[in-house]
Amino acid sequence: MKERLQIIIKDQSLILFPQKALFWEEQKILVVSDVHFGKAGHFRKHGIAVPDTVNANNIQRLDHLIKHLSPQKILFLGDLFHSEMNAEVEQFKEWRKSHANIEMILTIGNHDILTRFQYEKMGLQCVNQYEMKPFVFMHDEYDSTSSEYYPIAGHIHPAVKLSTKGRQRMYIPCFYFGKTHCMLPAFGSFTGNYRIQPAQNDLVYGVVEERVIDISPLI
């Protein structure tokens, strides 16, 4: 059984899912970051053999979340697609059609190299950043000086290192809520992680197997 974790940030209720997604309860917005659709296919096209099952797994997890949460909007925080058009992107298009009633918005990331027209055509609203008080969502270029909005971003694929007795070390992908901004873990199941070093008082929620737990005190 997967266990979610509810937290309150800026007086808003955010629910963190072990599927590496965030649900903003008040606004009924599902936020996922760095899916990298078509990554496996992109590799195959260039002569590097990666099996296809990765993509199907991403779609299944999205479907599962949609079924349970009935979001009004889905916000993709960049790197939705890994590269140019391929069969996996076509699969995404089909999937998009099957959820025509949900508004979907993409904040453009460095891997999103299709034209805006192409995104719009497949039913994705395309923006550089998406503001909705008290948050502003984007892929990575946040402006931490603005105090009006709290930035929530993707891009980094954050993970933290935990060390314990017996010289044990673990690397845990995480949701990170720092003083100046928040970073979400990468949703895509075929992506790596980057180790971040949180400061004191930062909040870090680790995705550990089927659960999300507060690991801030362990860092």
Partner 1 sequence: MSTKGRKVIREWFDSRGWEIFPFQQEVWDAFLKDKNGLLNAPTGSGKTFALWMPNLIKWIDEHPKDYQEKTNNGLKVLWITPLRALAKDIQKALQNSVNELGIQWEIGRRTGDVSQSVKQKQNRRMPEVLITTPESVHILLAQKKYERHFKNLDAVIVDEWHELLGSKRGIQTELGLSRLRGLRPNLSIWGISATIGNLDEALDVLLGPDQEDQPVIIKANIQKNIQAESILPDEMENFPWHGHLGLKLLPKILPIIDESRSTLIFTNTRAQSEIWFQNLLETRPDLAGAIAIHHGSLDRKVRDWVESSLHEGILKAVVCTSSLDLGVDFSPVETVIQIGSPKGVARFMQRAGRSGHQPGSTSKIYFVPTHALELVEAAALKSAINSEEMESREPILKPYDVLVQYLVTLAVSDGFHPDEIFPEIKKTFAYQTLSEKEWNSILQFITQGGKSLSRYNEYSKVDIEGDGLYKVNSRKIARRHRMSIGTIASDAMLRVKYMSGKSLGAVEEWFIAQLNTGDTFWFAGRNLELVKIKDMTVYVKRAKGKSSKVPAYMGGRMSLSSNMTHILRKKMHQAVAGDFDDIELKTLEPLFEIQRDWSILPDEDQFLIEKSFSREGCHVFFFPFEGRYVHEGMSALIAHRLSKMMPITFSIAMNDYGFELLSDQDIPIEKALVEDLFSPDHLVEDIMASINSAELAKRRFREICQIAGLVFQGFPGQVKSNKHLQMSSSLFFDVFMEYEPDHLLIQQAFDEVMSIQLDEIRLRKALKKISEQEVVFNLTERFTPYAFPIMVDRLREKLSSEKLIDRIQKMQSQLEKHVK
Q: What does the binding site for partner 1 look like in residue numbers (CB under 8 A)?
A: 40-54, 82-83, 86-87, 111, 162, 164-170, 172, 190-192, 206, 208-211, 213, 215, 217-218
Shortest Å, Cβ 186 to partner 1: 12
Burial environment of residue 170 by CB neighbours within 10 A (0 to 12, 13 to 18, 19 or more): middle
CA distance 84 to 42: 8
Shortest Å, Cβ 87 to partner 1: 5
Angle CA 113–119–124, to nearest 5: 130
Residue whose CB is less far from partner 1, 196 or 218: 218
Residue whose CB is less far from partner 1, 67 or 169: 169
Shortest Å, Cβ 65 to partner 1: 21
Residue whose CB is less far from partner 1, 181 or 211: 211
Residue whose CB is less far from partner 1, 31 or 172: 172
Shortest Å, Cβ 134 to partner 1: 30
Residue (of 105, 175, 110) closest to 136 by Cα position: 105
Identity of the amino acid at 29: I
Give, in order, the Cα–Cα distances in Å from 192 to each of 16, 35, 122, 171, 186: 20, 11, 27, 11, 8
